[in-house]
Structure 1
């Protein structure tokens, strides 16, 4: 049982689960825009998420030398290095425009993690900004890059899907911010810190209604997509409703981050 728990914790702490969620959202985008067999883009997003998230989570600790490189961290470092190699491999299989835009999102990730300015604060420590940067990066990697790489026309449906994806990621992050309310620095000015938990939940419910409602403005009619997006909005609303500071780390790091994976599986079944 301990071995299973250690393996499961490594799966979560090594960002494999969140990377699978990223992979799932790319697949959802490709499904909606009828993009077939663009596996390099999906794998680029998967391995890029492992590298990006592990860099953000462990870079500051390694730079400050606050933790020793125990076996688990060494394994995560090896996983990240191998993933970085995979990112480079798939990067050169992407279209030129996709490569250029992906470098832009890479720079945004560096800005998020590293202190570039004189106040020595990175973007994730800027008051009230973190949630928007993370949501924007997810939209870029899971919607913008797949569409650009497949040379799909940027119609109104593309912009609607960008807004929908931003809303979904935004609400999922709200759940994280509610769970982490007691641990977050008050200077971060997260949404729950600014408006309170109850208003944050009401905001999330309103955004999820908008998330689903935007389907009716799309020109591409995909009944399965609309049906599954309603279920996902409902499931996310339930996670939001039951979110509180006493929930375990698995509530967000596994269950909440499983929402995109569940959406992808629903589309595969449907």
Structure 2
């Protein structure tokens, strides 16, 4: 069983799980917006998410302790390098607009980790702002990249979909913010640090209410609304039971599984029950 635990740990630590969640969130847009999402675009987003997340998580460690890296971290570095090479290959299949939007979103990822502000600060170190950066990048990836015509970015439907996924991701991040209370510096001024755990959870419920209201506005299919309602309730329950002493994979596996469950519900309602 130890090898199964090792594989699962690698699956989480190497950002495969979070990358599948981002891809799943993007694929849900196909059920709301008139877009076709190609396999090449899914692969591009999957590989770019792994590359970006692992850069943010491990670049600083690699820079400081390159010669004394743990074996599993070195494996993750090699895996990330292979994903980056694959990303470059998949980039050749994308339209110029996709590359430009990806580069725009990638800049936020880069500046999230690289110190470019006075006193060697990065975007993550700015008070309260990190959750909004993450939500912006996730929502932009899920909504903007699949568009065939980027002039639609400022259409009402696309902007509402962007807002819907923006507040959804903000709610999704809350269990992580509560988990990290024991580790985050007080200088970060995260939401739980500023307003407390109870009010942060309440804010998460407000985000989910906005998410559902926007689903009602956007969708014309009852099964899509039902899927969104199930996901909102599920995430609401996960937020309710979030704590500083949550289990190891409560947030990093179960919470991040929710976009994948949402996609499965949408797919199932369209293909199994019609």
TM-score band (shorter)? over 0.9
Equivalent residues in 2 for 1:230-249, closer than 5 Å:
230-249=229-248
TM-score between the two structures when normalised by the length of structure 1: 0.95
| RMSD of aligned Cα (Å) | 1.6
Deviation at 1:151, TM superposition (A): 5.4
Equivalence for 2:81: 81
Equivalence for 1:132: 132
Equivalent residues in 2 for 1:210-225, closer than 5 Å:
210-218=210-218, 220-225=219-224
Equivalence for 1:91: 91
CA contact (8 A) 2:30 2:37 kept: no
CA contact (8 A) 2:37 2:146 kept: no
Deviation at 1:66, TM superposition (A): 7.5
> Which piece of structure 1 moves more, 184-193 or 152-161?
152-161
- 1:41 to 2:53 alignment: no
CA contact (8 A) 1:32 1:222 kept: no
Rounded Cα–Cα distance in structure 2 between residues aligned with 1:82 and 1:196: 41
Which stretches of structure 1, 4 residues or longer, exceed 3 Å deviation after superposition?
A: 149-154
Per-residue CA deviation, residues 197-237 of structure 1 (Å, 9 max, x unaligned), is 0101111111101110112322x513222111111000000
Rounded Cα–Cα distance in structure 2 between residues aligned with 1:86 and 1:258: 24
TM-score between the two structures when normalised by the length of structure 2: 0.93
Equivalence for 1:267: 266
Rounded Cα–Cα distance in structure 2 between residues aligned with 1:158 and 1:89: 29
Equivalence for 1:228: 227
Deviation at 1:90, TM superposition (A): 1.6
- 1:158 to 2:152 alignment: no
Rounded Cα–Cα distance in structure 1 between residues aligned with 2:85 and 2:29: 25
Deviation at 1:11, TM superposition (A): 0.2
Per-residue CA deviation, residues 83-125 of structure 1 (Å, 9 max, x unaligned), is 1112111212111111111111111111101001331011111
For the residue of structure 1 that corresponds to 2:249, the secondary structure is helix
Equivalence for 1:192: 192
Aligned residues: 268
Rounded Cα–Cα distance in structure 1 between residues aligned with 2:67 and 2:174: 29
Per-residue CA deviation, residues 40-83 of structure 1 (Å, 9 max, x unaligned), is 21111111110011000001111122782222112111111111
For structure 1, the 5+ residue unaligned runs are none
For structure 2, the 5+ residue unaligned runs are 270-274
